Chains A and B, each alone.
Chain A
């Protein structure tokens, strides 16, 4: 395949200054990559079309609950005209238009969006369905491996019916040498009272690009936990969008990352609160070493009508090397007055008193940096949900830290 440039990827819903160069990402897909969708999944195929059917049923239920409801625009056409037509941002106009449509499928977004979602769908073809039926408790493991010279992408529809529980673990690794692209594009439907946990751990070598695209829909009291661990790949792009549609739906997103060497990491999170008393927590924690760069866009959008909603976002990043570059933009958009939105970011270097303490125990700057990298990997190992993921962390860990495998083996013995 020819080289491709994917534009307008992981775009912030409400852009900030263009000169900051962080409103969106551009992904360069190298030429010569053949399309593949070759991944392992340990459960039987779910019902074809389950996601679209679930969305259609959710639309029906929503329409029934909201009979006679009309979205209250930010400004009427008349008001906008009076104000000279410039009073609404492109973002506000867009929201007004899409919300007024009352079309849930139209309001469902993927986190990367732009050209990226289309590209990933094109490479992956038809999505595989992982499903938990009403009242069921199911789990699944997915392994995506880098295939030399390929763009290897998994398209998944994860559908948890009402009152079900569904755990999905996705490991993205490069067990054999090569170059190319890996990716996943995942639509998640969590029905009323469903509990969904998705853990994605990425441990690719530097010669790979990883695209992680996800969209969530949450029904009444649905509870979705997303755990993302980004340890490898030369370039990583993660985009997650979520529609907290049902009353008291909750989404927690925990992101752990390690930047080393010359890596580029791009995160985009957009959670839209539509339902009353919906809650979300976006928590990112990472270490940047070498000359790695990271951008994180986190948007919590409190839509008119989401009374009692609460959203919180945090990014804690430790910069252990002078050559790293970090950009964090936490954004709270608010069109409802009875809501709460909190954001915070802690961005810091190793403080000089910390460095002196570590030096007084014999660690040079380089050794201290290596220790932080090693500690991040150890943490990922301890948190790994299954053996395959642990193996993948050890594989990458051994490349980055001398004797990493032996180090974590100790922990195993300790636990035993």
Chain B
């Protein structure tokens, strides 16, 4: 159960839109430190939008509500400041950045972060050991960020950044989508490591229950048409696996 008195992330009555089309409707969601939450729902429910709004993507306009993270109102903070405050968003489709070697990027994102601004040798050692841990060819470290990487390699790079930055809370947006079995097991391993080594807090966005098999889930939130329509404990996952989202879609239709 979420610790209602002291959540790490508290999304309070958030409504958000893009180009005047409202996507999120009065969303409330609390995540306590150290917990694993899952945000589920059918395709197009607004789950990814929720993750991106939490991270502060400028494409979306927050029409009402606020986002409190680690006791601070971050609703008006830029994404870089949210990141430096300890929030992390793993992308469903990580972008490519030609011209920037992965190592240079990793160094840039750790520079100036308390506790992470390592000495040079230590930094190299750290990213190499993370690459090994994630079964990632070290040669990728010298390649341009994302350019020519397979879907699986891109997701491994997301996991590498998660473990390198050690955020207080990570939102993983469909990290499991489009992965083969091997890549999926590496990603699961990365999530487990994050929990173990950083006492990590996770908000996992997915419509697939498979990635949750090896995780101890504390709370499940179901989103349909931009609204949270149901919440419960981990037992909901088996129910959704069995019966799908139809039951919730009906509830959403009633709420409109």
Binding site for B on A (CB under 8 A): 287, 318, 351-354, 356-364, 367-368, 370-372, 374-376, 378-379, 406-407, 409-410, 413-414
Report which of A359, A367, A372, A414 forms a contact with B124, defined as CB distance below 8 A: A414
The answer to whether A410 and B78 have CB atoms under 8 Å apart is no
Report which of B80, B95, B113 forms a contact with A354, defined as CB distance below 8 A: B95
Question: Chain A contacts of B98 at CB under 8 A?
Answer: 318
Complex: how many Å from CA A353 to CA B48?
Answer: 14
Residue in A352, A357, A367, A414 whose Cβ sees the most chain B Cβ within 10 Å: A357
Q: List 6 A-B contacts (CB under 8 A).
A: A356-B58, A358-B109, A360-B91, A362-B80, A363-B108, A372-B99
Top 5 closest pairs, chain A to chain B, by CB:
A359-B79, A362-B83, A361-B109, A359-B80, A357-B95
The answer to whether A353 and B95 have CB atoms under 8 Å apart is yes
Given contacts A360-B83, A362-B83, A362-B84, contact A410 B59 (CB under 8 A): no
The answer to whether A287 and B99 have CB atoms under 8 Å apart is yes
Report which of B56, B97, B111, B165 forms a contact with A357, defined as CB distance below 8 A: B97
Complex: how many Å from CA A414 to CA B88?
Answer: 29
Question: Chain A contacts of B123 at CB under 8 A?
Answer: 410
Question: Chain A contacts of B79 at CB under 8 A?
Answer: 356, 359-360
Report which of B58, B94, B104, B124 forms a contact with A352, defined as CB distance below 8 A: B58
Question: Chain B contacts of A362 at CB under 8 A?
Answer: 80, 83-84, 109, 113, 165
Interface of A is mostly: helix
Would you call B100 an interface residue if the criterion is a C-beta within 8 Å of the partner chain's C-beta atoms? Answer: yes
Closest to B84 in A: A362
The answer to whether A375 and B165 have CB atoms under 8 Å apart is no
Would you call B21 an interface residue if the criterion is a C-beta within 8 Å of the partner chain's C-beta atoms? Answer: no
- B50 CB, nearest partner CB in chain A, Å: 14
The answer to whether B97 and A363 have CB atoms under 8 Å apart is no
The answer to whether A361 and B83 have CB atoms under 8 Å apart is yes
Report which of B99, B107, B109 forms a contact with A407, defined as CB distance below 8 A: B107
- A260 CB, nearest partner CB in chain B, Å: 14
Would you call B195 an interface residue if the criterion is a C-beta within 8 Å of the partner chain's C-beta atoms? Answer: no
Given contacts A375-B99, A406-B120, contact A357 B108 (CB under 8 A): no
Given contacts A374-B104, A407-B107, A410-B124, contact A361 B161 (CB under 8 A): yes
Would you call B220 an interface residue if the criterion is a C-beta within 8 Å of the partner chain's C-beta atoms? Answer: no
Given contacts A356-B57, A364-B78, contact A378 B101 (CB under 8 A): yes
Report which of A318, A352, A361, A363 forms a contact with B59, defined as CB distance below 8 A: A352
- B86 CB, nearest partner CB in chain A, Å: 10
